[in-house]
């Protein structure tokens, strides 16, 4: 791999003054911080003041001053509870958001969420054009982009990457949605590609950011399933080493196409430290520079140490309580029973699914949990109770929906009305969520529900939730997910609540499925947002899931870190190439 040497530039010394004209943009504060429409676009020249004539004669030869501009330097070490798998180095084999910290720093798609404000924009595509009939998107590609192996990116690479991301053996949870929306990809010329659609597909631009990163066609064909052993992308950091379950190492890409986002550090190492005590000790001793997964007692210890601090990204994730139903029914493609008017039929749901099919039981569970108490006890108060699975930036966000109030008396009354005196249910959680699961189970026991907490290792939990449909979960579980600045996305709902895409083992209602179909097919942003709010309200009213809380992302920062901007608010876009170090 090539390393980035120091570069120099010549700066002529002139005795002139230049005034920059600041151009104010109308709109909200985000507009002021936003870059131009595409990352490499010029923001326009400023008007210069007139310079008086020089009365002294100029020297015969101007002597330039050489200013050294340092390239990437130093090694940044980051630690978190991350069980590194081969999929962390293969952008087309991810199945959930846990891989995105590595992928967002290394691989790139046609679109992205800008780091400044989270707005959707072109990345490896300079722009996009919607066909007159709404059944195609054409992307002129950014020219001069090279992969880490020196190959120039072309339209053939884009086509091959999308086809690999949506191949039959791919297990990512949006695959079914993408192949139902996209008929095929056409290479127009070396620098232009068209996505032909089966129907209007409003979610395509978001999906191309999150799930269809570009890799070189020839290299993908050569490596096949072993692509992760020699990954090649276009991003500012290259993957140089992956030790399964232990660590990943990255190096700055010397020929990265976008100088605005070139890495400040030469080497980044991510380590898996699962024990919270060891994680904290590594930060305080200087062994690592940044840690994530900060919560509980760790927060105060980091704040009290004069050598460490906390950076917060507000509203970065949502935690919801999900109700999982018999998987064999889901595979059969059935929705929740409805009456002749299309409204949920509670009695038929009880007959089919037992107590959890009863809306009163789900309401009792929602009212049984003291959300604020859990936020204060487990997350140091860095969060707030939340009503739905919609982030503030999601088009399903409805500020009028309020969290179900903590009311154990009402919970007991609802259970009594439902005729449920004792309800035993399995509460499934991953190993990292055991403390939270026990807290929620404690509240449920107080109102007469006796959940059996079942703890799974993270890999098995993920596969049962997203991949192994035949042996998926039955019971209840909490589910955290990052907001990822989903400005116009209903990604979670389109994967949770559709008959043909029930990777997560949940049922739906016909009305809700119609709304979700409108979300995915509507191209107008405002119309899609309105339908998204309607869908979120339907789920809230019928308790397809129970919103628990939104949490801030907390990063523990060591003394060597001079500058770090993890991402815009309501996002978990952890961009490590932005870190600067005090050397």
541: CATH: 3.10.105.10
Among 207-216, 327-336, 396-405, which range has the highest average pLDDT? Answer: 396-405
Does residue 300 sit in the same domain as residue 320? no
Distance CA 282, CA 276 (A): 10
Amino acid 40: pLDDT: 34
Among 155-169, 308-322, 569-583, which range has the highest average pLDDT? Answer: 155-169
Residue 10 lies in a domain: no
User: Token pair of 227, please?
Assistant: 């692509």
Of 67-76, 222-231, 263-272, 323-332, the range with the lowest mean pLDDT is 323-332
What's the average model confidence in pLDDT over 239-243? 96
555 by DSSP, 3-state: which? strand
User: Is the model's pLDDT at 498 over the cut of 90?
Assistant: no
What's the average model confidence in pLDDT over 391-403? 85
Does residue 348 sit in the same domain as residue 445? yes
Does residue 520 sit in the same domain as residue 564? no
User: Is the model's pLDDT at 169 over the cut of 50?
Assistant: yes
Distance CA 437, CA 440 (A): 5
pLDDT band at 212 (very low <50, low <70, confident <90, very high): confident
Of 3-12, 151-160, 425-434, 548-557, the range with the lowest mean pLDDT is 3-12
- Tell me which residue range forms the domain holding 398: 315-552
Cβ neighbours of 28 (radius 10 Å): 9
Amino acid 2: pLDDT: 38
What's the average model confidence in pLDDT over 45-50? 30
What's the average model confidence in pLDDT over 306-312? 92
| pLDDT > 90 fraction of the chain, expressed in percent and rounded | 40
Does residue 373 sit in the same domain as residue 427? yes
Cβ neighbours of 385 (radius 10 Å): 20
Does residue 155 sit in the same domain as residue 255? yes
pLDDT band at 252 (very low <50, low <70, confident <90, very high): very high
Amino acid 280: pLDDT: 95
Does residue 135 sit in the same domain as residue 239? yes
Residue 113 lies in a domain: yes
Please tell me the total count of domains within the chain. 2
Nearest CA-CA partner of 137 in 111, 176, 169, 163: 111
User: Is the model's pLDDT at 68 over the cut of 50?
Assistant: no
User: Token pair of 407, please?
Assistant: 């009311």
pTM of the model: 0.77
Residues 109, 212 contacting (CB under 8 angstroms): yes
User: Is the model's pLDDT at 173 over the cut of 90?
Assistant: no
Residue 568 lies in a domain: yes
> 279 or 212: whose pLDDT is higher?
279
DSSP bridge partners of 218: none
Residue 8 lies in a domain: no
Distance CA 140, CA 126 (A): 6
Distances (CA, A) of 122 to 40, 92, 109, 110, 259: 10, 20, 9, 6, 16
Amino acid 272: pLDDT: 92
What's the average model confidence in pLDDT over 405-420? 96
Of 91-105, 276-290, 367-381, 493-507, the range with the lowest mean pLDDT is 493-507
Among 118-132, 419-433, 492-506, which range has the highest average pLDDT? Answer: 118-132
Amino acid 383: pLDDT: 93
Does residue 320 sit in the same domain as residue 465? yes
Residues 423, 414 contacting (CB under 8 angstroms): no
User: Is the model's pLDDT at 96 over the cut of 60?
Assistant: no
Nearest CA-CA partner of 291 in 578, 574, 7: 574
Q: What is the DSSP letter of 88?
A: G
User: Is the model's pLDDT at 235 over the cut of 90?
Assistant: yes
Does residue 387 sit in the same domain as residue 531? yes
What is the rounded average pLDDT for all residues in the chain? 78
Return the ∠ at Cα 553 (arms to 209 and 27), rounded to 5°.
Answer: 60
């Amino acid at each position: 791999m090539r390393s980035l040497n120091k570069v120099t530039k010549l700066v002529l010394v002139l005795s002139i003054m230049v005034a920059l004209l600041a151009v104010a943009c109308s709109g909200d504060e985000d507009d002021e911080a936003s870059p131009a429409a595409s990352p490499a676009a010029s923001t326009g020249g400023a008007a210069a003041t007139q310079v008086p004539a020089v009365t002294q004669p100029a020297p015969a030869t101007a002597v330039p001053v050489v200013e050294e501009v340092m390239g990437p330097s130093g090694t940044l070490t980051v630690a978190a509870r991350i069980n590194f798998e081969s999929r962390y180095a293969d952008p087309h084999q991810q199945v959930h958001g846990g891989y995105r910290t590595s992928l967002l720093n290394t691989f790139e798609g046609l679109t992205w969420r800008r780091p400044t404000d989270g707005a959707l924009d072109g990345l490896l595509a300079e722009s996009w054009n919607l066909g007159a009939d709404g059944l195609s998107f054409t992307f002129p590609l950014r020219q001069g982009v090279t992969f880490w192996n020196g190959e120039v990116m072309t339209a053939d690479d884009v086509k091959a990457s999308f086809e690999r991301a949506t191949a039959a053996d791919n297990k990512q949870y949006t695959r079914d949605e993408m192949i139902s929306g996209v008929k095929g990809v056409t290479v127009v010329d070396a620098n232009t590609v068209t996505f032909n659609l089966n129907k209007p597909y409003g979610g395509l631009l978001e999906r191309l950011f999150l799930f269809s990163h570009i890799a070189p066609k020839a290299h993908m064909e050569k490596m096949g399933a072993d692509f992760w052993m020699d990954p090649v992308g276009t991003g500012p950091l290259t993957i140089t080493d992956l030790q399964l379950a232990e660590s990943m190492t990255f190096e700055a890409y010397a020929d990265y196409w976008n100088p605005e986002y070139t890495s400040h550090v030469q080497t980044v190492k991510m380590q898996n430290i699962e024990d919270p005590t060891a994680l904290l000790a590594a930060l305080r001793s200087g062994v690592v520079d940044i840690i994530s997964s900060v919560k509980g007692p760790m927060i105060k210890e980091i704040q009290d140490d004069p050598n460490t601090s906390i950076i917060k990204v507000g509203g970065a994730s949502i935690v919801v309580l999900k109700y999982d139903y018999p998987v064999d029914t889901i595979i059969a493609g059935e929705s929740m029973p409805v009456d002749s008017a299309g409204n949920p039929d509670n009695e038929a749901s009880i007959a089919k699914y037992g107590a959890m099919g009863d809306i009163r039981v789900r309401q009792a569970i929602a009212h049984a949990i003291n959300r604020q108490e859990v936020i204060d006890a487990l997350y140091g108060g860095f969060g707030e109770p939340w009503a739905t699975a919609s982030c503030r930036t999601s088009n399903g966000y409805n500020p009028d929906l309020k969290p179900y109030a903590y009311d154990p008396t009402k919970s007991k009354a609802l259970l009594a009305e439902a005729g449920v005196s004792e309800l035993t249910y399995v509460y499934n959680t991953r190993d990292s969520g055991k403390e939270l699961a026990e807290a929620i189970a404690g509240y449920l026991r107080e109102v007469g529900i006796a959940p059996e907490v079942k703890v799974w290792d993270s890999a098995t939990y993920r596969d049962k939730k997203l991949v192994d449909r035949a042996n998926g979960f039955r019971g209840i579980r909490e589910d955290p997910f990052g907001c990822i600045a989903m400005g116009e996305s209903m990604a979670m709902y389109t994967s949770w609540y559709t008959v043909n895409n029930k990777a997560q083992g949940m049922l739906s209602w016909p009305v809700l499925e119609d709304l979700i179909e409108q979300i995915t097919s509507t191209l107008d942003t405002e119309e899609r947002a309105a339908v998204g709010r309607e869908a979120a309200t339907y789920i809230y009213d019928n308790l397809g899931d129970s919103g628990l809380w939104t949490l801030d992302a907390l990063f523990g920062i060591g003394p060597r870190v001079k500058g770090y901007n993890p991402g815009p608010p309501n996002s978990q876009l952890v961009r490590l190439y932005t870190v600067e170090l005090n050397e």
